[in-house]
Chains A and B, each alone.
Chain A
Amino acid sequence: MSEKMNEGKWTGYTTGDKALALIRQVKSDMQADNTPNEQVREGKTFLGFVKAGAERQTEQSDKLIQELKGALV
């Protein structure tokens, strides 16, 4: 992008076809700018998914539950 300074006043406006090209470039960049979002539940509601996790007790989750209990005090 051109950027010219003229006695402190910015005069580097992009106009016409160049402005359209610039706009398309920004739109394209923004569409590509996403973080991964793999939704993994299948046939479950969101809270049903959380419930399944709560029911899946493991050695580590039991340990963390004990810590949570301690945090309540």
Chain B
Amino acid sequence: MSESKSISPHKHNGADFPSYEMPSDNDLKVMLSEFHYLFEMFCERMDLSLSDISVDEKLVIKALIRLDQRRLHYKMYHNGTIINELKEVAILCYWLIKYKPIIILEDGVYTTSKINEVFALFLILSTIVEYRFTQGLPEAVIQADMIQHIMYTLRNRASTFDSMVILVDALADR
């Protein structure tokens, strides 16, 4: 089988396989400050005091880089696909739930319980609102009791990228 000898796992169509480059420091700085803004908005709407909360920003940066990696994955392996905002938020939330960067002081104890999932849902709902508005569609109908079901899923069920994408797509009623 002399033909197979010329196929190298490190080459793609004869050229070196491209390697991933992380977003620039400045781009990540902008993303981090946007994250701060969103997080403060979340705390304000949840009536949470920022003095009771701590955020491990290293984990936030890591989640943002993971999202960027996934964008490139789709572009490379899915025929140049630029993923939409619903997929982006699903992927970001997958990592935020996995890394749990937010810690809250509750009854004198620091805990990651629930707040990361609630923040993720806040991001998902906000993205759905904007996605449908931008497309000129009426607001998606999401029953209030769905929140408890989704919270249970996010906290207790094994989720993958794909299941998160399906969940967000279904909520967005696409």
Contact = CB atoms under 8 A, between A and B. Distances in A.
B85 A65 contact: no
Interface string B109-139: 0000011011001110111111101110001
Given A37-B82, A55-B41, A72-B46, A45 B144 contact: no
Given A31-B79, A49-B130, A52-B130, A67 B41 contact: no
Interface string A36-66: 1111110001111111111110101101111
A69 to B, nearest CB: 6
B103 interface: no
Contacts of B30: 45
Residue in A34, A52, A53, A55 with the greatest tally of chain B CB atoms within 10 Å: A53
Interface residues of A, number: 34
A38 B80 CA distance: 13
B25 interface: no
Contact of A49 (B31, B47, B85): B85
Contacts of A34: 78-79, 81
A69 B129 contact: no
A56 B130 contact: yes
A71 B148 contact: yes
- B: contact size bracket: 35 or more
Interface in B27-62: 30-31, 34-35, 37-38, 41-42, 45-48
Contacts, number: 115
- Interface residues of chain B: helix, strand, loop or mixed (majority): helix
Contacts of A37: 81-84, 87
A47 B144 contact: no
A65 B38 contact: no
A68 interface: yes
A65 B54 CA distance: 21
Interface of B: 30-31, 34-35, 37-38, 41-42, 45-48, 67, 78-79, 81-85, 87-89, 114-115, 117-118, 121-123, 125-131, 133-135, 139, 141-142, 144-145, 147-148, 151, 174
15 contacts: A37-B87, A40-B85, A46-B67, A50-B123, A53-B129, A54-B123, A56-B133, A58-B129, A61-B126, A64-B142, A66-B144, A68-B118, A69-B47, A71-B151, A72-B118
Interface of A: 30-31, 34, 36-41, 45-56, 58, 60-61, 63-72
